[in-house]
Chains A and B, each alone.
Chain A
Amino acid sequence: MVLDGILVLLILAMAWRCVRTTDLFEAIIVFVGLGMMIALVWTRLQAPDVALAEAAIGAGLAGALLLANLRQLPEDSSAVRWRSSWLWWSLWGILGLALGFAVVSIQTTPVSLMPLVQAHLPESGVTHPVTAVLLNFRALDTALELAVLLWAWMAQRHLFEGNFKAFHSLQGGVLKTTVKMLFPLVVLIAVYLLWRGSSSPGGAFQSGAVLAAAWLMLWLAQLPGLNWQRLSLKVGLLGGVMVFFWVGLLGLFQGAGFMGYPADQAGGWILLIESVAALSIGLLLASMVLVSMPNFQEQSP
Protein backbone atom coordinates (compact mmCIF):
# COMPACT_ATOMS: atom_id res chain seq x y z
CA MET A 1 0.00 0.00 0.00
CA VAL A 2 2.76 2.42 0.99
CA LEU A 3 4.83 1.04 -1.85
CA ASP A 4 1.97 1.71 -4.26
CA GLY A 5 1.71 5.28 -3.08
CA ILE A 6 5.46 5.90 -3.42
CA LEU A 7 5.51 4.31 -6.88
CA VAL A 8 2.61 6.43 -8.10
CA LEU A 9 4.14 9.67 -6.82
CA LEU A 10 7.49 8.76 -8.37
CA ILE A 11 5.87 7.90 -11.70
CA LEU A 12 3.86 11.10 -11.87
CA ALA A 13 6.92 13.18 -10.95
CA MET A 14 9.07 11.42 -13.57
CA ALA A 15 6.40 11.79 -16.25
CA TRP A 16 6.15 15.50 -15.46
CA ARG A 17 9.93 15.90 -15.61
CA CYS A 18 10.04 13.97 -18.89
CA VAL A 19 7.59 16.25 -20.66
CA ARG A 20 8.72 19.50 -19.00
CA THR A 21 12.50 19.42 -19.27
CA THR A 22 14.17 21.35 -22.06
CA ASP A 23 17.10 18.95 -22.24
CA LEU A 24 16.24 16.15 -24.66
CA PHE A 25 18.92 13.81 -23.28
CA GLU A 26 17.49 14.18 -19.81
CA ALA A 27 13.99 13.58 -21.15
CA ILE A 28 15.10 10.26 -22.67
CA ILE A 29 16.89 9.10 -19.52
CA VAL A 30 13.86 9.97 -17.39
CA PHE A 31 11.65 8.18 -19.91
CA VAL A 32 13.71 4.98 -19.59
CA GLY A 33 13.56 5.25 -15.79
CA LEU A 34 9.82 5.79 -16.04
CA GLY A 35 9.56 2.59 -18.08
CA MET A 36 11.32 0.64 -15.34
CA MET A 37 9.04 2.11 -12.65
CA ILE A 38 6.00 1.22 -14.74
CA ALA A 39 7.34 -2.33 -15.11
CA LEU A 40 7.36 -2.46 -11.29
CA VAL A 41 3.73 -1.33 -11.27
CA TRP A 42 2.82 -4.16 -13.64
CA THR A 43 4.23 -6.69 -11.19
CA ARG A 44 2.21 -5.01 -8.41
CA LEU A 45 -0.88 -5.40 -10.60
CA GLN A 46 -0.13 -9.11 -11.07
CA ALA A 47 0.79 -8.84 -14.72
CA PRO A 48 4.29 -10.36 -14.83
CA ASP A 49 4.10 -11.01 -18.58
CA VAL A 50 3.51 -7.35 -19.25
CA ALA A 51 6.21 -6.37 -16.75
CA LEU A 52 8.79 -8.49 -18.62
CA ALA A 53 7.77 -6.99 -21.96
CA GLU A 54 7.72 -3.44 -20.58
CA ALA A 55 11.18 -3.73 -19.06
CA ALA A 56 12.68 -5.25 -22.22
CA ILE A 57 10.82 -3.33 -24.92
CA GLY A 58 9.26 -0.28 -23.29
CA ALA A 59 12.34 0.72 -21.34
CA GLY A 60 15.33 -1.09 -22.90
CA LEU A 61 14.78 -1.07 -26.64
CA ALA A 62 12.89 2.23 -26.63
CA GLY A 63 15.83 3.80 -24.81
CA ALA A 64 18.33 2.41 -27.32
CA LEU A 65 16.16 3.62 -30.19
CA LEU A 66 15.75 7.11 -28.74
CA LEU A 67 19.43 7.57 -27.89
CA ALA A 68 20.49 6.30 -31.31
CA ASN A 69 18.25 8.90 -32.95
CA LEU A 70 18.98 11.80 -30.60
CA ARG A 71 22.27 12.89 -32.17
CA GLN A 72 20.80 13.03 -35.63
CA LEU A 73 17.96 15.33 -34.74
CA PRO A 74 18.44 19.08 -34.80
CA GLU A 75 18.50 20.93 -31.51
CA ASP A 76 15.79 23.33 -32.49
CA SER A 77 12.33 22.06 -32.98
CA SER A 78 10.48 21.06 -36.05
CA ALA A 79 7.42 20.72 -33.85
CA VAL A 80 4.29 22.77 -34.17
CA ARG A 81 4.16 25.33 -31.38
CA TRP A 82 0.91 25.97 -29.61
CA ARG A 83 0.15 29.21 -27.94
CA SER A 84 -0.83 29.04 -24.31
CA SER A 85 -4.34 30.32 -23.82
CA TRP A 86 -7.18 30.04 -21.37
CA LEU A 87 -9.08 28.05 -23.99
CA TRP A 88 -6.45 25.31 -24.04
CA TRP A 89 -6.21 25.17 -20.26
CA SER A 90 -9.98 24.96 -19.85
CA LEU A 91 -10.23 22.22 -22.48
CA TRP A 92 -7.46 20.35 -20.67
CA GLY A 93 -9.30 20.73 -17.37
CA ILE A 94 -12.64 19.63 -18.81
CA LEU A 95 -11.03 16.58 -20.37
CA GLY A 96 -9.40 15.77 -17.03
CA LEU A 97 -12.74 16.01 -15.22
CA ALA A 98 -14.50 13.90 -17.85
CA LEU A 99 -11.78 11.25 -17.75
CA GLY A 100 -11.88 11.30 -13.94
CA PHE A 101 -15.61 10.72 -14.02
CA ALA A 102 -15.14 7.86 -16.51
CA VAL A 103 -12.43 6.26 -14.36
CA VAL A 104 -14.63 6.48 -11.26
CA SER A 105 -17.74 5.12 -12.94
CA ILE A 106 -15.96 2.23 -14.64
CA GLN A 107 -14.79 0.93 -11.26
CA THR A 108 -18.33 -0.02 -10.30
CA THR A 109 -18.96 -2.16 -13.37
CA PRO A 110 -17.07 -5.35 -12.66
CA VAL A 111 -16.85 -7.14 -15.99
CA SER A 112 -14.24 -9.81 -16.28
CA LEU A 113 -13.57 -12.20 -19.13
CA MET A 114 -11.41 -14.34 -16.88
CA PRO A 115 -14.10 -16.99 -16.07
CA LEU A 116 -14.64 -17.43 -19.81
CA VAL A 117 -10.90 -17.74 -20.41
CA GLN A 118 -10.51 -20.28 -17.63
CA ALA A 119 -13.48 -22.31 -18.84
CA HIS A 120 -11.86 -22.75 -22.25
CA LEU A 121 -8.27 -23.03 -21.06
CA PRO A 122 -8.13 -26.87 -21.30
CA GLU A 123 -8.88 -26.80 -25.06
CA SER A 124 -6.41 -24.01 -25.83
CA GLY A 125 -3.31 -26.22 -25.83
CA VAL A 126 -1.47 -24.18 -23.17
CA THR A 127 -1.98 -23.70 -19.46
CA HIS A 128 -1.02 -20.04 -19.08
CA PRO A 129 -4.10 -17.85 -19.60
CA VAL A 130 -2.28 -14.88 -21.17
CA THR A 131 -0.57 -17.10 -23.75
CA ALA A 132 -3.92 -18.78 -24.44
CA VAL A 133 -5.56 -15.41 -25.15
CA LEU A 134 -2.65 -14.17 -27.26
CA LEU A 135 -2.14 -17.23 -29.42
CA ASN A 136 -5.43 -19.02 -29.41
CA PHE A 137 -8.54 -17.05 -28.46
CA ARG A 138 -7.41 -13.76 -29.96
CA ALA A 139 -4.77 -15.07 -32.36
CA LEU A 140 -5.87 -12.73 -35.14
CA ASP A 141 -5.01 -9.68 -33.00
CA THR A 142 -1.53 -11.02 -32.35
CA ALA A 143 -1.00 -11.85 -36.02
CA LEU A 144 -2.04 -8.36 -37.05
CA GLU A 145 0.21 -6.89 -34.38
CA LEU A 146 3.15 -8.73 -35.94
CA ALA A 147 2.02 -7.29 -39.26
CA VAL A 148 2.05 -3.79 -37.74
CA LEU A 149 5.60 -4.35 -36.48
CA LEU A 150 6.67 -5.58 -39.91
CA TRP A 151 4.97 -2.63 -41.59
CA ALA A 152 6.64 -0.12 -39.28
CA TRP A 153 10.01 -1.73 -39.96
CA MET A 154 9.46 -1.56 -43.72
CA ALA A 155 8.34 2.07 -43.54
CA GLN A 156 11.33 2.99 -41.40
CA ARG A 157 13.66 1.16 -43.74
CA HIS A 158 12.36 2.99 -46.77
CA LEU A 159 12.78 6.35 -45.06
CA PHE A 160 16.49 5.54 -44.73
CA GLU A 161 16.87 3.94 -48.11
CA GLY A 162 20.46 3.52 -49.21
CA ASN A 163 21.74 3.70 -45.65
CA PHE A 164 21.02 0.11 -44.94
CA LYS A 165 24.22 -1.68 -45.83
CA ALA A 166 26.88 -1.61 -43.18
CA PHE A 167 28.02 0.29 -40.13
CA HIS A 168 31.13 0.88 -38.10
CA SER A 169 31.73 -1.83 -35.59
CA LEU A 170 32.62 -1.03 -32.04
CA GLN A 171 36.21 -2.06 -31.54
CA GLY A 172 38.14 -3.89 -28.89
CA GLY A 173 39.09 -7.42 -27.95
CA VAL A 174 37.48 -7.26 -24.51
CA LEU A 175 34.15 -6.28 -26.01
CA LYS A 176 34.26 -9.00 -28.63
CA THR A 177 35.22 -11.70 -26.16
CA THR A 178 32.52 -10.60 -23.71
CA VAL A 179 29.90 -10.58 -26.43
CA LYS A 180 31.05 -14.03 -27.57
CA MET A 181 30.60 -15.35 -24.05
CA LEU A 182 27.31 -13.57 -23.39
CA PHE A 183 25.58 -14.35 -26.70
CA PRO A 184 24.86 -18.05 -26.06
CA LEU A 185 23.68 -17.27 -22.54
CA VAL A 186 21.27 -14.60 -23.73
CA VAL A 187 19.93 -16.91 -26.44
CA LEU A 188 19.45 -19.58 -23.77
CA ILE A 189 17.43 -17.12 -21.67
CA ALA A 190 15.29 -16.30 -24.73
CA VAL A 191 14.60 -19.98 -25.45
CA TYR A 192 13.78 -20.55 -21.78
CA LEU A 193 11.31 -17.65 -21.74
CA LEU A 194 9.68 -19.02 -24.88
CA TRP A 195 9.40 -22.55 -23.55
CA ARG A 196 8.11 -21.39 -20.18
CA GLY A 197 5.45 -19.27 -21.85
CA SER A 198 3.03 -22.16 -22.29
CA SER A 199 2.57 -22.66 -18.55
CA SER A 200 3.77 -19.49 -16.79
CA PRO A 201 4.69 -15.86 -17.54
CA GLY A 202 6.87 -15.51 -20.61
CA GLY A 203 6.32 -16.11 -24.29
CA ALA A 204 7.07 -14.92 -27.78
CA PHE A 205 7.23 -11.16 -27.08
CA GLN A 206 9.52 -11.36 -24.09
CA SER A 207 11.68 -13.94 -25.81
CA GLY A 208 11.81 -11.85 -28.98
CA ALA A 209 12.91 -8.77 -27.03
CA VAL A 210 15.74 -10.71 -25.37
CA LEU A 211 16.78 -12.12 -28.75
CA ALA A 212 16.83 -8.59 -30.13
CA ALA A 213 19.25 -7.58 -27.39
CA ALA A 214 21.45 -10.57 -28.22
CA TRP A 215 21.55 -9.70 -31.92
CA LEU A 216 22.22 -6.05 -31.23
CA MET A 217 25.23 -7.02 -29.12
CA LEU A 218 26.50 -9.28 -31.86
CA TRP A 219 25.99 -6.71 -34.61
CA LEU A 220 27.50 -3.85 -32.65
CA ALA A 221 30.64 -5.86 -32.01
CA GLN A 222 30.43 -7.07 -35.63
CA LEU A 223 31.11 -10.67 -34.89
CA PRO A 224 30.32 -13.19 -37.64
CA GLY A 225 28.35 -10.59 -39.51
CA LEU A 226 24.87 -11.46 -40.55
CA ASN A 227 24.49 -10.21 -44.08
CA TRP A 228 21.43 -8.06 -44.63
CA GLN A 229 21.12 -9.23 -48.19
CA ARG A 230 20.97 -12.90 -47.27
CA LEU A 231 17.75 -14.71 -48.02
CA SER A 232 17.61 -16.48 -44.66
CA LEU A 233 17.51 -13.17 -42.84
CA LYS A 234 14.68 -11.89 -45.03
CA VAL A 235 12.77 -15.10 -44.41
CA GLY A 236 13.39 -14.63 -40.68
CA LEU A 237 11.99 -11.11 -40.75
CA LEU A 238 8.87 -12.16 -42.63
CA GLY A 239 8.52 -15.58 -41.01
CA GLY A 240 6.37 -14.66 -38.02
CA VAL A 241 3.53 -13.15 -40.01
CA MET A 242 3.73 -15.80 -42.75
CA VAL A 243 3.68 -18.83 -40.46
CA PHE A 244 0.91 -17.26 -38.39
CA PHE A 245 -1.35 -16.80 -41.38
CA TRP A 246 -0.50 -20.17 -42.94
CA VAL A 247 -1.41 -21.97 -39.75
CA GLY A 248 -4.52 -19.78 -39.59
CA LEU A 249 -5.53 -20.88 -43.08
CA LEU A 250 -4.84 -24.50 -42.18
CA GLY A 251 -7.35 -24.13 -39.35
CA LEU A 252 -9.92 -22.92 -41.88
CA PHE A 253 -9.55 -26.12 -43.91
CA GLN A 254 -9.65 -28.30 -40.82
CA GLY A 255 -13.00 -26.83 -39.84
CA ALA A 256 -11.77 -24.88 -36.79
CA GLY A 257 -12.30 -21.53 -38.51
CA PHE A 258 -9.67 -19.00 -39.59
CA MET A 259 -6.97 -18.73 -36.91
CA GLY A 260 -8.47 -21.63 -35.01
CA TYR A 261 -6.75 -24.89 -34.19
CA PRO A 262 -8.23 -28.32 -33.45
CA ALA A 263 -8.01 -28.73 -29.66
CA ASP A 264 -5.70 -31.76 -29.73
CA GLN A 265 -3.10 -30.10 -31.98
CA ALA A 266 -3.26 -26.61 -30.54
CA GLY A 267 -0.22 -26.97 -28.26
CA GLY A 268 2.08 -27.93 -31.13
CA TRP A 269 0.87 -25.21 -33.49
CA ILE A 270 1.17 -22.57 -30.78
CA LEU A 271 4.74 -23.62 -30.04
CA LEU A 272 5.61 -23.46 -33.75
CA ILE A 273 4.04 -20.01 -34.16
CA GLU A 274 5.65 -18.71 -30.99
CA SER A 275 9.12 -19.91 -32.00
CA VAL A 276 8.98 -18.31 -35.44
CA ALA A 277 7.28 -15.20 -34.08
CA ALA A 278 9.95 -14.75 -31.40
CA LEU A 279 12.63 -14.99 -34.10
CA SER A 280 10.84 -12.43 -36.27
CA ILE A 281 10.15 -10.04 -33.38
CA GLY A 282 13.79 -10.24 -32.31
CA LEU A 283 15.10 -9.55 -35.81
CA LEU A 284 12.63 -6.74 -36.46
CA LEU A 285 13.27 -4.96 -33.16
CA ALA A 286 17.04 -5.32 -33.50
CA SER A 287 17.10 -3.98 -37.03
CA MET A 288 14.81 -1.11 -36.07
CA VAL A 289 17.41 0.04 -33.54
CA LEU A 290 20.33 -0.76 -35.79
CA VAL A 291 19.07 1.23 -38.74
CA SER A 292 18.96 4.32 -36.49
CA MET A 293 22.59 4.04 -35.37
CA PRO A 294 24.51 7.27 -35.93
CA ASN A 295 27.60 5.61 -37.39
CA PHE A 296 25.69 3.80 -40.05
CA GLN A 297 27.63 4.27 -43.28
CA GLU A 298 27.06 3.68 -46.93
CA GLN A 299 29.94 1.47 -47.99
CA SER A 300 30.60 -2.10 -46.96
CA PRO A 301 33.18 -2.71 -44.24
Chain B
Amino acid sequence: MSVWIYSLCALGLVLIGLYGLVRSHHGLQQLLSINVMGSGVFMLLLALAARHAPADAVPQAARHAPADAVPQALVLTGIVVAISALALGLALLRRLASYDKGASHD
Protein backbone atom coordinates (compact mmCIF):
# COMPACT_ATOMS: atom_id res chain seq x y z
CA MET B 1 0.00 0.00 0.00
CA SER B 2 2.72 2.44 0.94
CA VAL B 3 4.34 1.51 -2.37
CA TRP B 4 1.37 3.20 -4.07
CA ILE B 5 1.68 6.34 -1.98
CA TYR B 6 5.36 6.67 -2.76
CA SER B 7 4.86 5.94 -6.46
CA LEU B 8 2.38 8.79 -6.67
CA CYS B 9 4.71 11.00 -4.62
CA ALA B 10 7.45 10.17 -7.16
CA LEU B 11 5.14 11.29 -9.95
CA GLY B 12 4.41 14.52 -8.06
CA LEU B 13 8.12 15.22 -7.51
CA VAL B 14 8.92 14.77 -11.22
CA LEU B 15 6.10 17.12 -12.23
CA ILE B 16 7.02 19.74 -9.60
CA GLY B 17 10.65 19.52 -10.68
CA LEU B 18 9.71 19.97 -14.31
CA TYR B 19 7.55 22.95 -13.41
CA GLY B 20 10.44 24.49 -11.47
CA LEU B 21 12.93 23.82 -14.26
CA VAL B 22 10.84 25.73 -16.75
CA ARG B 23 9.42 28.47 -14.52
CA SER B 24 12.36 29.38 -12.25
CA HIS B 25 14.14 32.65 -12.88
CA HIS B 26 17.52 31.63 -11.57
CA GLY B 27 19.97 29.01 -12.75
CA LEU B 28 20.59 27.77 -9.23
CA GLN B 29 16.91 27.10 -8.70
CA GLN B 30 16.77 25.29 -12.02
CA LEU B 31 19.58 23.03 -10.80
CA LEU B 32 17.58 22.37 -7.63
CA SER B 33 14.56 21.55 -9.79
CA ILE B 34 16.56 19.01 -11.78
CA ASN B 35 17.58 17.41 -8.49
CA VAL B 36 13.95 17.31 -7.32
CA MET B 37 13.07 15.51 -10.56
CA GLY B 38 15.93 13.11 -9.96
CA SER B 39 14.66 12.39 -6.45
CA GLY B 40 11.30 11.51 -7.99
CA VAL B 41 12.93 8.97 -10.28
CA PHE B 42 14.88 7.47 -7.36
CA MET B 43 11.67 7.26 -5.35
CA LEU B 44 9.84 5.35 -8.07
CA LEU B 45 12.77 2.91 -8.39
CA LEU B 46 12.90 2.27 -4.66
CA ALA B 47 9.12 2.02 -4.32
CA LEU B 48 9.13 -0.65 -7.00
CA ALA B 49 12.06 -2.37 -5.29
CA ALA B 50 10.13 -2.57 -2.02
CA ARG B 51 7.03 -4.16 -3.56
CA HIS B 52 7.82 -7.66 -2.36
CA ALA B 53 8.57 -6.57 1.17
CA PRO B 54 5.66 -4.59 2.63
CA ALA B 55 6.88 -1.77 4.84
CA ASP B 56 4.34 -2.73 7.53
CA ALA B 57 6.25 -5.93 8.20
CA VAL B 58 9.66 -4.31 8.60
CA PRO B 59 11.02 -5.44 11.97
CA GLN B 60 10.70 -9.20 11.56
CA ALA B 61 10.79 -9.56 7.82
CA ALA B 62 13.60 -7.10 7.13
CA ARG B 63 16.35 -9.67 7.30
CA HIS B 64 14.61 -12.38 5.36
CA ALA B 65 12.71 -10.49 2.68
CA PRO B 66 14.79 -7.43 1.86
CA ALA B 67 13.90 -5.03 -0.92
CA ASP B 68 15.32 -5.74 -4.36
CA ALA B 69 19.04 -4.93 -4.22
CA VAL B 70 19.53 -4.01 -7.89
CA PRO B 71 17.42 -0.80 -7.89
CA GLN B 72 19.03 0.12 -4.56
CA ALA B 73 22.47 -0.14 -6.12
CA LEU B 74 21.23 1.88 -9.11
CA VAL B 75 19.98 4.65 -6.84
CA LEU B 76 23.23 4.70 -4.82
CA THR B 77 25.10 5.16 -8.09
CA GLY B 78 22.57 7.77 -9.12
CA ILE B 79 23.04 9.85 -5.97
CA VAL B 80 26.77 10.18 -6.57
CA VAL B 81 26.24 11.03 -10.24
CA ALA B 82 23.61 13.60 -9.21
CA ILE B 83 26.01 15.39 -6.86
CA SER B 84 28.68 15.36 -9.59
CA ALA B 85 26.22 16.97 -11.96
CA LEU B 86 25.21 19.51 -9.31
CA ALA B 87 28.84 20.46 -8.64
CA LEU B 88 29.58 20.82 -12.34
CA GLY B 89 26.39 22.79 -12.94
CA LEU B 90 27.24 25.23 -10.14
CA ALA B 91 30.76 25.64 -11.50
CA LEU B 92 29.39 26.39 -14.96
CA LEU B 93 26.92 28.92 -13.51
CA ARG B 94 29.71 30.73 -11.69
CA ARG B 95 31.88 30.80 -14.75
CA LEU B 96 28.97 32.15 -16.76
CA ALA B 97 28.36 34.82 -14.12
CA SER B 98 32.02 35.88 -14.18
CA TYR B 99 31.87 36.26 -17.96
CA ASP B 100 28.72 38.38 -17.66
CA LYS B 101 30.37 40.58 -15.06
CA GLY B 102 33.50 40.97 -17.17
CA ALA B 103 31.44 41.94 -20.19
CA SER B 104 29.46 44.62 -18.35
CA HIS B 105 32.43 46.21 -16.55
CA ASP B 106 34.86 46.36 -19.42
Contact = CB atoms under 8 A, between A and B. Distances in A.
Contacts of A31: 32, 35-36
A49 to B, nearest CB: 6
Contact of B20 (A18, A69, A114): A18
Nearest to A81: B25
Given A1-B56, A78-B96, A117-B69, A50 B9 contact: no
Interface residues of B, number: 81
Contact of B24 (A49, A79, A112): A79
Given A65-B90, A70-B28, A82-B23, A100 B11 contact: yes
Interface string B64-103: 0011111011111101111111111011111111001100
A38 B29 CA distance: 19
A123 to B, nearest CB: 15
Interface residues of A, number: 82
A298 interface: no
Chain B, interface SS category = helix
Contacts of A114: 52, 66-70
Interface string A13-48: 001101110101001100100100010011011110
Given A57-B80, A65-B87, A46 B36 contact: no
Interface centre among A81, A99, A114 (most CB of B within 10 A): A114
B86 to A, nearest CB: 6
A141 B86 CA distance: 20
A171 B104 CA distance: 36
A69 to B, nearest CB: 4
Interface in B1-57: 1-30, 32-33, 35-36, 39, 42-44, 46-53, 55-56
B16 A155 contact: no
B72 A27 contact: no
Contacts of A49: 72, 76
Given A45-B46, A103-B11, A69 B28 contact: yes
Contacts of B8: 8, 103
A66 B90 contact: yes
B70 A113 contact: yes
Nearest to B99: A78
Nearest to B55: A44
Contacts of B20: 18-20
A49 B18 CA distance: 27
A16 to B, nearest CB: 6
A270 interface: no
Interface of A: 1, 4-5, 8, 11-12, 15-16, 18-20, 22, 24, 27-28, 31, 34, 38, 41-42, 44-47, 49-50, 53-54, 57-58, 61-62, 65-66, 69-70, 72-74, 77-79, 81-82, 84, 88, 92, 95-96, 99-100, 103, 106-107, 110, 112-114, 117, 129-130, 132-134, 138, 141-142, 145, 148-149, 151-153, 155-156, 159-160, 205, 281, 285, 288, 292
Given A42-B46, A88-B22, 5 more contacts: A8-B5, A19-B19, A24-B26, A57-B83, A134-B73
22 contacts: A16-B16, A19-B24, A22-B25, A24-B28, A31-B35, A41-B46, A45-B46, A45-B55, A47-B50, A50-B72, A58-B79, A66-B32, A73-B93, A77-B25, A79-B25, A82-B23, A103-B11, A106-B48, A114-B69, A159-B91, A288-B83, A288-B84
